[in-house]
Chain A
Amino acid sequence: MMNTATALEWLVALMLLVGSFFTLVGAIGLVRLPDFFMRLHAPTKATTLGVGGMLLASIAYSVNHGVSLHELLITLFLFVTAPVSASLLAKAALRLRLKSRAPLPEDPASGH
């Protein structure tokens, strides 16, 4: 029979694997996707389930050493900052009319 400590260890390992997998997929996407706008999608995976898995692992790992809630704050900060940088990158790319498989909208300067 599995005791709690072992179960917790499995949970930590599983979450680390899930987090690493999605971070890896994000990196692979960065290499494989053909144009800039499509590559913008890769980090959204790394910053959501990638980081999410590792944060859950961290929470599970630190359960025995007192409750640690830093992880929730990290999630919050990522949610607040990641979309802003993605939008700024996209705006700059639209302004530069970078090569895109999706037809670019007519007025790239809109929203200013």
Chain B
Amino acid sequence: MIRRWLPYPLLSAALFAGWLMLTGDLSAGHLLLAAVLGAAIPRISAPFLEHLPRVRSPSAALRLLLRVTWDIVIANVAVSRLVLGPTGRLAPVFLHVPLALSNPQSTALFASIITMTPGTVSAVIDTENRELLVHALDCRDPDALIAEIKERYEKPLLEIFGC
């Protein structure tokens, strides 16, 4: 019954909370509006969300969130040093990261994480060859970096979504 009316309970909860955060108003009117939005938007966009993977392990998701936040801070400092230092010494390279993830949404999340951690930018999600084309700002050992990216971000994503 719940599944019928709220096919994506987590998304509905996020929309509900998002609306309240956006308005900063906990009055009855806005609570009702948030509930309506939380119930209606996932239903309207259901065809679009068909392949949305379910979160299997919330604790793994939380761990990944903390790890990514931490990595962003560390990588920012490292990349700032690169940017302010002699740029002639930088060794940029394109990496072909083979994908173990198969779901489009989890792959997109993986690509986004790579882009948001400074030093690497996802350029192309190649669904045909099942790989990501990633540009690294300064990389001496591409294979090691690919292995690190897969270990740090893709493995937890596989654990969270299972696909």
Q: Which size class do B's interface residues fall under?
A: 35 or more
Bound-state Cα–Cα, A33 to B85, Å:
10
* Complex Cα spacing A41 to B133, Å: 15
Q: Is A63 an interface residue (CB 8 A)?
A: no
Over the window 69-108 of chain B, the binary record of Cβ atoms lying under 8 Å from chain A Cβ atoms (1 yes, 0 no) is: 0001100100110011001101011101000000000000
**How many contacting A-B pairs (Cβ < 8 A)?**
124
Counting CB contacts under 8 A, is B22 at the interface?
yes
Interface residues as binary, B96-137 with A (CB distance below 8 Å gives 1, 0 otherwise):
100000000000000110011111011111111100010111
Q: Determine the chain B residues whose CB is within 8 A of the CB of A105 once the complex forms.
A: 94, 96, 133
CB–CB B21/A70 < 8 A: yes
Task: Decide: B121 and A90 in contact? CB cutoff 8 A.
Answer: yes
Instruction: Say whether B72 contacts A49, CB under 8 Å.
Output: yes
Taking CB atoms and an 8 Å cut-off, the chain B residues in 8-48 that contact chain A are 18, 21-22, 24
Q: B94 to chain A: which residues have CB within 8 Å?
A: 102-105
Cross-chain contact B112 with A48 (CB below 8 angstroms): no
Q: Is the CB of A110 within 8 A of B90?
A: no
B115 A82 Cβ-Cβ under 8 A = yes
- Give A81 to B59 CA distance when docked, in angstroms: 25
- State whether A25 and B83 are in contact (beta carbons under 8 Å apart), knowing that A82-B116, A111-B133 are contacts in the complex: yes
Give residues of chain A (66-104) contacting chain B, Cβ–Cβ below 8 Å.
Answer: 66, 68-70, 72-73, 76, 79-80, 82-84, 86-87, 90-91, 94, 100-104
Interface readout for A14-40 with B: 1 if CB under 8 Å, 0 if not? 000000001001001100111101101
Residues in A whose Cβ lies below 8 Å from that of B72: 48-49, 52
Contact of A44 among B73, B116, B133 (CB under 8 A): B116
Residues of B within 8 A of A (CB): 18, 21-22, 24, 72-73, 76, 79-80, 83-84, 87-88, 90, 92-94, 96, 111-112, 115-119, 121-129, 133, 135-137
